[in-house]
Amino acid sequence: MNCRHLLLAVCCLLSLEAQSQDSVMFRRISDEIMLRGTCYENLRVLCKQIGHRLSGSPAAARAVDWGFDALKDAGAEKVWLQPVDVPHWVRGKESLKLRLDPKNGFEEVPMLSLGNAVGTDGKVLEGDIVMVTTFDEFKALKDEEVRDRIIFINHRFPQEMINTFEGYGAAGPYRWMGPNMAAGRKAAGVIIRSISTGIDDAPHTGSLRYADTVKPIPAIAIGNMTADRLEAALKKGIAAKARIQSTARMLGTARSYNVIGEIKGTEYPDQIVLVGGHLDSWDVGEGAHDDGAGCVQSIEVIRTLKALGIRPKRTVRAVLFMNEENGLRGGYAYNDSAVANNEKHILALESDAGGFSPRGIGLAMERPRREFIQSFRHLFLPYGVYDFEQEEGGADISPLQRRGVPVSGLIPDPQRYFDLHHTPNDVFERVNHRELKLGAVAMAQLVYLITQYGLK
C-alpha cells in the first residue's frame, strides 16, 4: 500500500469514527430530552399561567419575565433583554350579525377581527354583502358594486395541497392584501373566509396591512361553516346583509423585549448558532403551537447541552423573539443589533410551524452548505426526520437571511397546524408531549453538528 492509499484509509477510518461518535451523541441528546426534557412543562406554564400574549399587552410583558427565568433555569451562561418597540393593537369588543334569510332576521355568528384592523368605534356598521372568490373577480366589479358594500372574500384554502404551508402561502394574500384593496375602492368593510384547513366554524385571525394612501375599513374573519352558509345564501340570490360592531384599534407603540440566552463557544466564540421561536401570540387561545412550542424547544436546546456537559465549540444562542405576529419588530431589532455589533451568525434555526412530529429541516442557504448538512441525513433518519430538501427558514430570522446568513426551519408534520392556527383552539391541550420533545431533539441534534463542525 503506497502512502496515498494509506492516507485515504486513515481518513476513511477517522470519518467512520466521527460518524459513530455523532450517532452516539444523537442518541444521548434524544434520551436526555425524551426522558428528562422540561419543554412540555415549560409550555404548560407559559400557556396556563400567562396565556395568550399579544405584543404590547400586559401578558406579553409577563411572558418576557418568564422567558428570562426559563433561560436562566435551563443553564444559559448569559441572559439579557433586547429592547423592541412594538405595535400595540387591541381587539376590544366585537360582534357580527348576518341576515341570510329576510324571513328570519339577523343572527349572531362566530367572528374575529383581523389583527391591526380598525373597528367601527363601537357603532353598528350595516351593509349589503358582495361576494368574490379571487382578486380577479374583485377587480372586475364596477365601482358602484364595491362602494359602501361589505365585501365577502370567499377564497377557500386549497385542500388539495399536501403541504399545507404551500396552501397557506396561496390563500394568505386574501387576508393580508384583500382588506387594503377593498378600502382603496371605498368598500365599507370586509369579511373573509378564514385561512383554515378545518371542517369547523372556528374563525382565524391574523395580520392585514393598510397602505398609507387608503382610509382603513373594518375587516373580520368567519369560520368555514358560516362561510359555507353565507356563500349558499348569496348563490341563491338572497340579498344578504351584515352588521359589524367592533372597538378594535391601534394604541401606538409599546416597549417590549426579545429574550436572549447563550452558551459561549470554547474554540470559536465569535461564531454564533442561533435557535429561536417567537414569544408573542395572538390574543385568542394560548399560543401553544404558535409559537410557544418553538420557544420552549429553543430553551430545551440550551438545557440539553448543559445537562449533557457538552461544551460547544461555537456559541449557541437561543432567542425568544417579540412581535412576529403583527409587525416582525423583534426580528428586525435583533438583526440591527447583530449588524451594529458586527456579530457573525453561521446558522439561524427557527421553530414556528407547530409542536407536531418533526419530519424534516428546511435549509435556505447556498448549495454547498445545504449539501454539507444533507450529508448528515442518515443520522436523523432513526428519529423520523428525513426531509432536507425544502428551502425554509422562518419569519423572525428572515432579516438575517436577507443579508446572507444561512437559515433553517424545523418542519413538523403540517396536516393539523392550520386547523388551529390563530384560533381560540390553539391551546396547551392540543400539543402532544412526545411530538413536542421530538422536535426539540431534532433541533438540538442539528445545533450540536453545526457547533461541532461549523458550516462549510
pLDDT exceeds cutoff 90 at 59: yes
β-strands 219-222, 78-90 pairing: unpaired
Interval 248-270 mean pLDDT: 98
Q: Are 432 and 374 in contact (CB under 8 A)?
A: no
Mean predicted lDDT score pLDDT of the chain:
95
Q: What CATH number does domain 24-89+252-453 carry, 3.10.129.10, 3.40.630.10, 3.40.50.300, 3.40.50.2300?
A: 3.40.630.10
Domain regions of the chain by residue span:
24-89+252-453, 94-247
Q: Which CATH number fits domain 94-247: 3.30.70.20, 3.90.550.10, 3.50.30.30, 3.30.1490.20?
A: 3.50.30.30
The Cα–Cα gap between 257 and 421 comes to 24
Residue 79 has pLDDT above 60, yes or no: yes
Q: Which amino acid is at 267?
A: E
Equal CATH topology for 24-89+252-453 and 94-247: no
What 3-state class would DSSP assign to 3?
A: helix
How confident is the model over 185-238, as pLDDT tens digits?
999 999 999 999 999 999 999 999 999 999 999 999 999 999 999 999 999 999
Question: What is d(CA 120, CA 218) in angstroms, rounded to the nearest whole number?
Answer: 7
CA pair distance 269, 6, nearest whole angstrom: 35
pTM of the model: 0.94
The CA distance from 205 to 332, in Å, is: 23
- Contact 110/229 with Cβ under 8 angstroms? no
Q: How distant, in Å, are the alpha carbons of 143, 195, 279, 411, 444 from that of 318? A: 51, 30, 12, 18, 11
Angle between helices 367-374 and 433-453 (to 10 degrees): 120
User: pLDDT of 252-261, one tens digit each?
Assistant: 999 999 999 9
- Which strands, in side-by-side order, build the sheet including 358-364? 78-90, 249-263, 314-321, 268-278, 344-350, 407-412, 358-364
State the average pLDDT over residues 324-343.
Answer: 98
**pLDDT at residue number 3:** 53
Express as a percent the part of the chain with pLDDT over 90.
95
pLDDT tens digits along 416-437: 999 999 999 999 999 999 999 9
